[in-house]
């Protein structure tokens, strides 16, 4: 039987330390009989030790980008930028898929996603069209999601598929940066549909066009295809760091 040790987020220990002090315990199977993880398994799973190699390449120490204070949030300055209209998503039926070169493909409902640790950050969103806005985003860390999927150690890139047909690919270190989130909150409220609800990317280390809205699928891979991203395939830079 699985034994879940709960760690409170206010303990100031790093993920690496957390994984070390949990010691050896049996890794229960994440997938239940219906093929999706049981709700209560998800949070507990994050405190279980991972394969050493997987842990090393997901939780590398990375430099944090300084954040802003709540007074600096400029709600009006975030301009909605959608190139293919706003897709219609039934949130009750919505599943986020995590697949590709992983040992544990995932299919998660929003309530399962919301049972994972919530991170909030106030960062600057930078669009290449010449505007920027300071925004608060709340959501889950991509590194937690990716750890749950148990990626194979040759994974180097991550594809994000969106409900409007938008697509993006990122380098793995940028995806597993601690400030790269799949957000479901904006400025303290539930994420509006025009900003990408139910789930969008938010990260201070990439330009606006990398921050896919309406993300439905996260695919881990060792190779980039000829398709790199909606804007990249029209000549924009792929790495697009800020």
CB of 232 to ligand MTE, least distance (A): 12
Tell me the per-residue interface mask from 210 to 229 with ligand MTE, x by CB under 6 A, - otherwise: -xxxx---------------
Strand order in the sheet with 167-171: 106-108, 96-100, 215-221, 157-162, 167-171
CA angle 35, 39, 109 (to 5 degrees): 70
CB of 222 to ligand MTE, least distance (A): 25
211 binds, among ligand MTE, Mo ion, none (CB under 5 to 8 A by kind): ligand MTE
Q: Given candidates 21, 64, 79, 91, which one binds ligand MTE under the rule CB under 6 A? A: 79
CB of 168 to ligand MTE, least distance (A): 8
Give me the residues that bind Mo ion (CB under 5 A), please: 81, 127, 208-209
Residue range at the interface with ligand MTE (CB under 6 A); choices 8-16, 19-27, 143-151, 206-214: 206-214
Strands 106-108 and 96-100: antiparallel
Q: What does each C-alpha distance from 169 to 38, 60, 117, 211 come to in angstroms?
A: 29, 20, 24, 10
78 near ligand MTE (CB under 6 A): yes
166 near ligand MTE (CB under 6 A): yes
CB of 236 to ligand MTE, least distance (A): 9
Q: What is the Cα–Cα distance from 4 to 44, expressed in whole angstroms?
A: 5
212 binds, among ligand MTE, Mo ion, none (CB under 5 to 8 A by kind): ligand MTE
Tell me the per-residue interface mask from 6 to 45 with ligand MTE, x by CB under 6 A, - otherwise: ----------------------------------------
**214 is written with which tokens?**
């309406």
What DSSP string describes 110-147?
HHHHTTSPPEEEEEEEEETTTEEEEEEEEEEEHHHHHH
CB of 219 to ligand MTE, least distance (A): 15
Residues 108-127 interacting with ligand MTE (rule: CB under 6 A): 127
* Cβ distance to ligand MTE smaller for residue 81 or 115: 81
Q: Given candidates 13, 64, 80, 91, which one binds ligand MTE under the rule CB under 6 A? A: 80
Helices (H), the chain: 15-21, 39-45, 52-58, 110-113, 142-148, 172-175
169 binds, among ligand MTE, Mo ion, none (CB under 5 to 8 A by kind): none
The answer to whether the bond into 193 is cis (omega within 30° of 0) is no
Q: Are 188 and 75 in contact (CB under 8 A)?
A: no
């Amino acid at each position: 039987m699985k034994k879940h040790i709960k760690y409170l987020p206010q303990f100031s220990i790093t993920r690496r330390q957390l994984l070390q002090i949990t010691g050896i315990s049996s890794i229960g199977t994440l997938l239940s009989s219906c093929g999706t993880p049981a709700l209560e398994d998800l949070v507990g799973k994050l405190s279980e030790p991972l394969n050493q190699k997987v842990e090393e390449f997901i939780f590398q120490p990375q430099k944090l980008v300084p954040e802003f204070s709540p007074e600096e949030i400029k709600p009006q300055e975030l301009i909605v930028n959608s190139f293919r209209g706003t897709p219609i998503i039934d949130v009750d039926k919505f599943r986020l898929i995590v697949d590709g070169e992983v040992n544990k493909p995932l299919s998660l409902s929003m309530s399962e996603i919301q049972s994972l640790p919530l991170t909030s950050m106030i960062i600057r969103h930078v669009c290449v069209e010449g505007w920027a806005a300071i925004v608060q985003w709340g959501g889950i860390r991509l590194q937690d999601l990716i750890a749950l999927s148990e990626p194979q150690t040759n994974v180097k890139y991550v594809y994000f598929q969106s409900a409007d047909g938008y697509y993006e690919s990122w380098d793995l270190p940028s995806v597993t940066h601690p400030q790269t989130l799949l957000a479901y909150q904006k400025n303290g409220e539930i994420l509006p549909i025009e900003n990408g609800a139910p789930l969008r990317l938010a990260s201070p280390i990439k330009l606006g066009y990398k921050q896919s809205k309406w993300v439905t699928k996260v695919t881990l891979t060792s190779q980039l295809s000829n398709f790199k991203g909606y804007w990249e395939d029209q000549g924009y830079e792929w790495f697009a760091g800020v």
